[in-house]
Amino acid sequence: MSKKKPEDQKRRPGNKSKYGSHVQPYLKNIMYWTRDGMTQEVIAKKLGVTPQTFCTYKEKYPELFESLKNGAQDIVYAVESALLKGAMGYKYNEVSVTEKEIEISDKDAAALGVEKCSMVTEKTTRNTTKQVQGNAVSQQFWLINRSEKWQSTSKIELSGVNGEPIEVMTGADRKARIKELEEKKEKRKERKKQPKQNKILNP
């Protein structure tokens, strides 16, 4: 039985990289797909490679990493722009079209080539500029994340009884503490019974 030559091992299909044929020609497409919100797993399947192989290519080839990064950055810019627009408020044009039927004169009917006493539809288009007020929640979110002046931190300090440090107990310590409290409770009960016994003995 003859041994396989090193050249034959290198030519095995499993060892051949698909990057040059399946990924590299589509770097711009990958950036667009990422910008459109497509996950890397879906992109890998679209290109005909496994997600694991695609992840390996991403670490090995800087141009692939940059395409993914640029596509994701475009999404960030788009979301930031939408957030800022909503925070500041904006204007937009609203187009409304109304239709109504009117009766035309005999002269107009003849000019239009229709029967006399005909009804025609008249369309009226109106452009209206409307204002959307800024969103206060979006304004606050933007300022907190963009300006140190608006950043606020809350410090919560936990303490035990009378300001003492909180004691962290293990299971054994907890059982011992419960037993101690139960013994104190029994002693208080006994103290409450003692005056009644004295009154009975000394009428």
The angle subtended at Cα 168 by Cα 165 and Cα 171, nearest 5°, is 155
Residue 31 has pLDDT above 70, yes or no: yes
Once rounded to an integer, what is the mean pLDDT over residues 5-22?
64
Contacts of 141 (CB under 8 A, 6+ apart): 83, 87
The H or E element containing residue 93 is strand 90-103
CB pairs under 8 A, 24+ apart, for 162-165?
A: none
3-class secondary-structure state, position 167: coil
**How many secondary structure helices (H) and strands (E) does the chain include?**
8, 2
Tell whether pTM > 0.85: no
Percent of the chain scoring above 70 in pLDDT? 69
Q: How far apart are CA 99 and CA 120, in angstroms?
A: 10
Find the farthest-apart pair of alpha carbons in the chain and give their distance in angstroms, rounded.
Answer: 130
Q: pLDDT tier at 179 (50, 70, 90 boundaries)?
A: confident
Contacts of 157 (CB under 8 A, 6+ apart): none
Task: Return the pLDDT at 185.
Answer: 85
Task: Return the pLDDT at 8.
Answer: 42
Task: Return the sign of the alpha-carbon dihedral for residues 102, 107, 112, 113.
Answer: positive
**At 69, which amino acid appears?**
K
pLDDT in tens, 104-152: 666 666 766 666 555 666 778 888 898 989 888 888 887 888 777 777 6
Task: Return the pLDDT at 45.
Answer: 94
The H or E element containing residue 52 is helix 51-60
Q: How far apart are CA 66 and CA 27, in angstroms?
A: 9
